[in-house]
Structure 1
Amino acid sequence: MTQTGHEPKPVLVFDSGIGGLTVLREARVLMPERGFIYVADDAGFPYGGWEEAPLRKRILDLFAELLATYEPEAVIVACNTAFTLAGTDLRHAFPDMRFIGTVPAIKPAAERTRSGLVSVLATPGTVKRAYTRDLIQSFAAKCHVRLVGSENLARMAEAYIRGEPVSDEAVLAEIAPCFVEKDGARTDIVVLACTHYPFLANVFRRLAPWPVDWLDPAEAIARQARRLVPLIEGAEHPQGFDFAVFTSGKPDFSTRRLMQGFGLDIADTSVKAV
């Protein structure tokens, strides 16, 4: 799909915090002619402990303002919890917008596993979502899938990527339930079903009781975005985009420094759910 002209609209990347940077990094490689707006709902972070109804309303309210303000070409919802909860509602509420969602990579895990033992490391919200159970039923019915809902890993990943200390014992306590031995077989794939978790992938590998494939969906999400976002021949990377918006309006110093490391300015404005 190719689009003509020289004024490419930006792509908006949305996450509850800074985990979506793992997706942004991959999307930039595949869409160099697009500017990006990164939106972190840090005022609502973490999403895992929210009740469904108020979180769904919050997400829909935020997007009503975001889409009116920035008029993006497409939106990458780089958050499993947000998309498995509100993806269908977003598409119904904003039918003219392209939404690229993030869901647990259960299908590719089921295709790759040799042992038949797969674990899904997610937030409590993603684990309890019917959407996740439906993915297992549709694509991994012949596998033994363990769902592991972590209350703390998203916060720990945010702290880690900001350079704050995170103890090995605390991380191991969160990932240990992923490792299953059954009838002589062992878990061989762990799905990272939260975009924050890849920040800790090297720590996971070091602490794991045996080697597994840690499945990071960021590249697949970026490829899907490239398929859906028109390629503009001859367009140069636009000026004025590549910035981050925080719903709190008050990112701390380490977060600002991290955003600069990803080539993102910090917008002076905030966005609030009504």
Structure 2
Amino acid sequence: MKLNALQIDYDYREFTVSSGENPKKFHGIVSALESQIRSLREVIIEGCDDSAEFQILMNCENLEILRIRYCNYRKLLKRFDHNRISTFELVDCQIDASEMGIIFEKSGTSLQRLKLESTDVFIIEQSLLLGALKSFCPNITFLDISSIETSIQFLDLIGNLQKLQFLTLWCFWSIDEKPNEKQIIQLVIQLARTLPLTLQYLDLRNSRLNPYIGILLNNCNAPLKQLLIKSIDGKKNAEALVKFCKRKRTLKYVGVNSYCDWELDDNFLKVDKYVTVVLYNDNC
């Protein structure tokens, strides 16, 4: 069956390729989109092996959003020849950053939203990743990154993103490391002082930093409007939240995980006088 119907007089702005049980068979569907290379703005490729047909998608003239999920992303990115990507998302069991520099170099100052989710293990070649982002992508406003190890280089990158508004950190240091209490506290202080003054949203639900939220807030000058944490977790964190609310007067919502009798907890009641505390869903 020929799919020339895709070449009718209609401009497709979004196209999703999800392979199902045949990650290598596309039957010319992608190739049939060649006439749409000027109208396509967003491409999602999910669960697919590399195919020569993807060369068309990687070279759409006005492509702005590229999302790759559980694919052979190394080969896909080698086909990338574009310089206007504003949003890039990569989700895989383990991300190897050694071959990702090309997309950051070519996107450069256009890249504004970046999500890198390494679901099972820590990102490989993190130094190359952080170096490329700092060198080529200073205009990132949204950063969602998981399985990243703490380092001076990482903090340096965050401090360099002077337009950053949304930051999500998951699994913020290696499970192979066992930092002592003093090292963790120093890390939290450095992170807090590094957060840019443009930051409004901070998600630390799975960063392993929840016991130190109080220390972070006491050293934070970013005008946060929304903060997501695992729980208020004790008197010190509750007092720090209240002090932050009084000092910055910007925080509107604190998202916490659910637990029994949370509305009767004394620490919650102290915080709830100054900021709206809401329950979040782990699946959101």
| TM-score, normalization by structure 2 | 0.26
Structure with higher Rg: it is 2
Which has the larger share of helix? 1
| TM-score, normalization by structure 1 | 0.26
